[in-house]
Amino acid sequence: MKAPAGVNPSNKSATPLPEPGRERLVWSRSGGRCAILNSIGLHQTAMLEEIRRLFAELHGGDKHSGHFDSDDYRVAAAALLVHVATLDHDLTGPARRRLRDLLMAQFSLTDALTDELIEAAMAADREAVDFYHFTSLLMRTLDEEGRLRVVEMLWRMAFADGAISEFEDNMMWRVADLLAVSPQDRIALRQKVVGAEPNKGGT
């Protein structure tokens, strides 16, 4: 059976990068409460949790708790976006608006959740020593289609000011390589983004 778009078929716990209008679900964990249940209770709890997850997926439910953990692939993608956005300038004005637009459209977030994700991404970017923590998480979570979508988002962020600097281009090369995106696909996505805005020019 063909794996859904965005899912890494070799990783059964992989999560798709949702297309705009779609949201992803994660397991809700009952923590210490499970420890006092017998084996039957645990089985029943798991069944009820699965039923609740399926209903939430059908109705487009948000990730449980509405918060973003450090191992959330959305934080990894957003942190890379924050990094490329702040290579040449601070994350203010048009750059922040572009970042918010990209995240809201891609992950179907509310204004409040988008701001929360940006704050989590900025903190993660400050703490990171390299890109590997983010790219390795994305590699484990997304399939090729999902990773290509991340690279396209990064190009759109880099091109927010109408030009792509040498530093941005170098970062894109490094990140795309870590995400196993070929040079041909990386260049094609750049041309797609630049060509979508004919009144602007890239370097």
Last residue of a domain, one of 61, 82, 98: 61
Specify whether 90 is located in the same domain as 155: yes
C-alpha–C-alpha distance, residues 190 and 148, integer Å: 11
Strand pairing partners for 198?
none
Direct distance between the N- and C-terminal alpha carbons of the chain, in angstroms, rounded to an integer: 43
Beta-carbon contacts of 83 under 8 Å, excluding residues fewer than 6 positions away, are: 125, 131, 171
Domain count for the chain, please give it.
2
131-186 pLDDT, tens per residue? Answer: 999 999 999 999 999 999 999 999 999 998 899 999 999 999 999 999 999 999 99
Instruction: Let me know if residue 4 belongs to a domain.
Output: no
Is the torsion defined by CA of 115, 121, 122, 123 positive or negative? positive
Instruction: Let me know if residue 159 belongs to a domain.
Output: yes
Specify whether 44 is located in the same domain as 84: no
Segment 177-201 mean pLDDT: 86
Specify whether 90 is located in the same domain as 49: no
Last residue of a domain, one of 61, 76, 105: 61
Specify whether 123 is located in the same domain as 188: yes
- Structural domain boundaries, residue 106: 66-195
Closest CA to 17 of 151, 168, 118, 130: 151
Specify whether 88 is located in the same domain as 173: yes
CB of 33 within 8 A of CB of 48? no
Specify whether 45 is located in the same domain as 85: no
Specify whether 112 is located in the same domain as 57: no
Torsion angle in degrees (nearest 10) through CA of 105, 190, 99, 18: 30
Specify whether 57 is located in the same domain as 70: no
- Give the single-character DSSP code of 7: B
Specify whether 47 is located in the same domain as 77: no
Specify whether 74 is located in the same domain as 141: yes
Instruction: Let me know if residue 11 belongs to a domain.
Output: no
The CATH number given to whatever domain includes residue 119 is 1.10.3680.10
Give the mean pLDDT of the chain. 77
- Report residue 61's pLDDT band, with 50, 70 and 90 as the boundaries: very low
Torsion angle in degrees (nearest 10) through CA of 80, 83, 88, 90: 130
Instruction: Let me know if residue 83 belongs to a domain.
Output: yes
pLDDT score of 85 more than 70: yes
